[in-house]
Amino acid sequence: MRFDDWFNPQKQCYDPPMKQIENVLTDKGSKYAVSGGAAQTRADVADFIKQLKRKKKFARATHNTWAVIFADGEQVKNDDGESGAGALILQMLERAELRDHIIVVTRWYGGVHLGGDRFRHVKTSVQAYLGEA
């Protein structure tokens, strides 16, 4: 199946299959999930994030950090307030040699700052996703 086959004319957007792992881990009240799917352009990324946030649970999340490396080598990331998380996702995408695929790590803040542990949790979330991909 080609990416263009996922265009949904009723919604006027792409509706690619989305893989999602909820409840990857919980620490001090913060909860993590990870999602991912095909994304070949910046417009595809915007459509993917829009599709993810159609679920109210994800729209209300504290952070939806993401990264993607396109086939031409362009790297795009968004920390969504979780400083440095997008760069970590990019590093993991590079190591996995995964192109044209977005990975989003979602965090619901639990009221206690996690400090450096938040990076370990982002890494664990991405590893869980890559392990099932």
Mean pLDDT of 105-117: 86
Give the span between the Cα atoms of 113 and 97, in whole angstroms.
Answer: 32
Q: Is the pLDDT of residue 3 over 50?
A: no
Give the span between the Cα atoms of 31 and 44, in whole angstroms.
Answer: 26
- Per-residue pLDDT, 96: 94
pLDDT category at 10 given cuts 50, 70, 90 is: low
Q: What is the pLDDT of residues 14-66, one digit of tens each?
A: 555 688 888 888 889 889 999 999 999 999 999 999 999 999 999 999 999 99
Q: Where are the domains of the chain?
A: 3-132
Whole-prediction pTM value? 0.85
Q: What is the pLDDT of residues 72-108, one digit of tens each?
A: 999 999 999 888 999 999 999 999 999 999 999 999 9
- Per-residue pLDDT, 113: 82
Strands (E), the chain: 7-8, 13-14, 19-27, 30-38, 63-69, 75-78, 101-108
Whether the CB-CB separation of 105 and 85 falls below 8 Å is answered with: yes
Superfamily of domain 3-132: Impact, N-terminal domain (3.30.230.30)
